[in-house]
Amino acid sequence: DLNELNIIFIGQIKSGKSNLINFYLNNSFLKEYKPTIIEKWNAKIYISNILNSINIWEFGGTTNLNSQTFKTIYKNENSIILY
């Protein structure tokens, strides 16, 4: 069984959330700006020699976040919100 972790990025428009995520996943920055509403990426990484499934969520600055949005994300308690 994989441990499942959620990392949730929330922030203002054009604050660099997509670039930060892209750099982490692909070791490169994006060449052009593309507005984001909601995006989700998946990655598998080892932490302390244990394979983990990481769900990375990005919410654009104009996204209307509500409790249902977070219920969808919080399938488990292993979540980090970055603002």
pLDDT in tens, the chain (83 residues): 678 888 989 888 888 999 999 999 999 999 998 888 889 999 999 989 999 999 999 987 766 676 666 666 666 678 788 88
* 28 three-state secondary structure: coil
DSSP lists the bridge partners of residue 46 as 51
Q: Is 19 exposed, middle or buried (0-12, 13-18, 19+ CB in 10 A)?
A: middle
Q: Is the pTM of this model over 0.85?
A: no
